[in-house]
Amino acid sequence: METSVPPTSVVVIGAGLAGLTVALELAQHGPVTVLAKRSLSEAATAWAQGGIVGVLGEDDSIESHVRDTQDAGAGLVDATTARFIAEHSAAAVQWLVDQGVPFSPDPAGPLGLHLTREGGHAVRRIAHAADATGRAIHEVLLAMARAHPNITLRERWMAIDVITSRHLSAHMAGSRAGPPPAAGKDLGSGPSLLERRTEASRCYGVYALDIDSRRVDTLSASAVVLATGGAGKVYRYTTNPETATGDGIAMAWRAGCRIGNMEFIQFHPTCLYHPQERSFLITEALRGEGAHLKLPDGTRFMAQHDPRGELAPRDIVARAIDFEMKKHGLDHVWLDATHLGEAFLKEHFPTIHARCLALGIDIAHKPIPVVPAAHYTCGGVVTDLDGRTDVANLYAVGETTYTGLHGANRLASNSLLECVVLGRTCAAHILKAGTADVPNVPAWDESQVEDADEQVVIAHNWDELRLLMWNYVGIVRTTKRLERALHRIELLKNEIDDYYANFRVTRDLLELRNLVECAELIVRSALVRHESRGLHYSRDFPSTLPVSLPTVLTRPARSRG
């Protein structure tokens, strides 16, 4: 039996900038449900520091931003995507201003905004709210979503898997809805991004775990939007929050979507090195305003690695720091901002100033100890500019996607921009697509599983996975290390699949299942790239090929979850 659902009975998975943009745009026309697996305030968006790109200044142009995005992306940026996003950047910043986001003002600046600069940008084009831009944006949008009568926010609800045609056919054949059997292992490399899958597959909703009641609910929907953020937690050291476990990428992969460019994990050059603060970012805008990277003896080293010095793109700066740390046997290098002066630092970087001071580092008088850490997932679910994936009615937006914007290395402050621009086009497409008939979807079935006897297996596998990714799949890679990592990942994956098939689901188990899926996608993508480019540097293939394509992985139909 089919039930008609209104065109906007949409489930958005994720309450970061991507998810909230989609939800707020859709809510003008009908009901939307937004899921967030932890507290609503926990998201990478809320931690963003530097700002959001806007091509606004008189000295700026669309061409200049596209060129910088392409240069940073090391030859793998999709020119159409980069141009589309640059052209919509002014409207995106204006949209945020209209919602009430309190960007740092400058009466003489375009739109009355102060623009800062970051690595890889030819001019000042970053709108920001001091050094806590993400918090300013997130607080405003979240407050709007909370107050909106058409938006239902489900906090501490975790999406497990999207419901697709496969679940319906399995149900009709008499098998249970979930948890599904262990997935197959073989992967193939897709021929080209332009080749679209012809196989008919549709999304009808999502299975989601209410963390507090431990109940799994079946949410039918005319469309589902994956806005789950990145996968930084796959690494031992990361700037990312707890939410970044690659859930959207893993769910889309299990549903049969193509996944692109997962080898390109961006390591941010300057994460604070401190035993009590392992994930605190020191914004690139500090280097944009003139801070210097130094060795313990006070020598600057970036000029030896790139003529742009501290303002070279991130892949180059992170690799240079990694090189210097290994060469001199250091735990960290220093970022010196003391010459910028106390008043300037307090005004422009109040959050960093206060947080470091609380840890005993007065950045106005002492250099800051910094190390690179995993920061941004450049690859993800392959989508078009409307957020459409390979599965009908399943959309994806934000860090969880691969749209072609970031290529082999993301340009600073392009991520928040992508969330807003494509969040809005995605909502417009969903509205245009109209009503969908949703069949009765099978309920989650736990009749064949029991409570896990011990959680230590999960905790142990989490640690093992994240450490092996850090040691074997980091800034500098070798084929041997990647193969070792893959072997270990396959063993872990079998163990986790077995656990998933036999025990009642918990958030830790689901996150681990998704992380190991993402780890495998990263390693397999890295193994098929026989060159060094952007964020992927291999000692076995140190040169850059004259022509190169994105890495696109396609999961064979028989192993889809």
Distance CA 361, CA 321 (A): 21
Contact between 270 and ligand FAD by CB under 6 A: the answer reads no
Q: Binding ligand SIN by CB under 6 A: which of 50, 180, 367, 398?
A: 50
The single residue among 73, 110, 134, 190 that binds ligand FAD, judged by CB under 6 A, is: 134
Structure tokens at 531: 């060159």
The answer to the question of residue 14 lying near ligand FAD (CB under 6 A) is yes
From candidates 12, 26, 43, 286, binder to ligand FAD by CB under 6 A: 43
What distance in Å separates the CA atoms of residue 67 and residue 552, rounded to the nearest whole number?
Answer: 24
Give the integer Cα–Cα distance in Å for 179 and 157.
17
Of the residues 254, 314, 524, 560, only one is catalytic, namely 314
Using rule CB under 6 A, residue 45 touches ligand SIN: no
Q: Output 271 or 312, the one with its CB closest to ligand FAD.
A: 271
With CB atoms as reference, the residue minimizing the distance to ligand SIN is 50
What dihedral do alpha carbons 362, 364, 369, 372 form, nearest 10°? 120
- Decide: is 17 part of the binding site for ligand FAD (CB under 6 A): yes
Tokens describing residue 183: 């997935």
Single out the segment in contact with ligand SIN by CB under 6 A; choices: 99-107, 169-177, 283-291, 296-304: 283-291
Length of the chain: 561
Helices 507-528 and 247-255, axial angle in degrees (round to 10): 70
Residue 146, classed as helix, strand or coil, is helix
Question: Interaction with ligand FAD in 302-341: which residues (CB under 6 A)?
Answer: none
Cβ(386)–Cβ(429) under 8 Å?
yes
Residue 161 contacts ligand SIN per CB under 6 A:
no
Look at residue 14 and give the partner it binds from ligand FAD, ligand SIN, none, a contact being a CB closer than 5 to 8 Å depending on partner kind: ligand FAD
Count of alpha carbons within 13 Å of 454, Cβ hemisphere only? 5
- The dihedrals phi and psi of 447, each to the nearest 5 degrees, come to -65, -20
CA angle 280, 282, 283 (to 5 degrees): 125
Q: Site for ligand FAD (CB under 6 A): how many residues?
A: 43
- Of residues 280, 274, 272, the one with CA closest to residue 239: 280
- Residue 413 Cβ, how far from ligand SIN at the closest point, in Å? 4
Q: 3-class DSSP state for residue 477?
A: strand
Candidates 31-39, 72-80, 141-149, 524-532 — which segment interacts with ligand FAD by CB under 6 A? 31-39
Q: Could you tell me which of 399, 137, 142, 395 has the C-alpha nearest to residue 245?
A: 399
Contacts of 521 (CB under 8 A, 6+ apart): 249, 253, 259, 262, 379, 553
Side-by-side strand order, sheet with 552-554: 188-189, 552-554, 259-260, 380-382, 401-402
User: Rule CB under 6 A: which of 192-231 touch ligand FAD?
Assistant: 227-229
**With CB cut-offs between 5 and 8 Å by kind, which of ligand SIN, ligand FAD, none does residue 534 bind?**
none
In whole angstroms, the minimum distance from the beta carbon of 192 to ligand FAD comes to 26
Residue 441 contacts which entry, ligand FAD, ligand SIN, none (Cβ below 5-8 A, type-dependent): none
560: left (phi over 0), alpha (psi -120 to 50) or beta: beta
Is 92 or 337 the residue whose CB approaches ligand FAD more closely? Answer: 92
Report the distance separating Cα 304 and Cα 79, nearest Å: 31
User: Does the active-site annotation cover 314?
Assistant: yes
**Is 283 among the residues that bind ligand SIN (CB under 6 A)?**
yes
Residue 383 interacts with ligand FAD (CB under 6 A): yes or no: no
Q: Does 48 bind ligand FAD (CB under 6 A)?
A: yes
**Judged by CB under 6 A, which of 34, 40, 285, 523 binds ligand SIN?**
285
Stretch that binds ligand FAD, among 168-176, 336-344, 352-360, 412-420 (CB under 6 A): 412-420
Residue 554, beta-bridge partner list: 188
243 counts as binding ligand SIN under rule CB under 6 A: no
Residue 313 CB, nearest distance to ligand SIN (Å)? 11
Bridge partners of 438? 3
Determine, following the binding rule CB under 6 A, whether residue 104 of this chain makes contact with ligand SIN.
no
**Among the residues of 454-506, which ranges form H helices?**
456-472, 479-502
Residue 443 beta carbon to ligand FAD: minimum distance, rounded to whole angstroms: 19
CA 206 vs CA 30, 195, 251, 394: distances in Å: 19, 27, 10, 10
Query: Rule CB under 6 A: which of 404-463 touch ligand SIN?
Result: 412-413, 415
Of 109-117, 176-184, 393-401, 429-437: span binding ligand FAD (CB under 6 A): 393-401
Q: Residue 342: what residue type?
A: E
The verdict on 278 binding ligand FAD (CB under 6 A) reads no
Catalytic residues: 314
Residues that bind ligand FAD (CB under 6 A): 13-19, 35-38, 42-45, 47-52, 133-134, 158-159, 227-229, 239-240, 243-244, 247, 281, 376, 398-400, 413-416, 419
Residues that bind ligand SIN (CB under 6 A): 49-50, 283-285, 412-413, 415
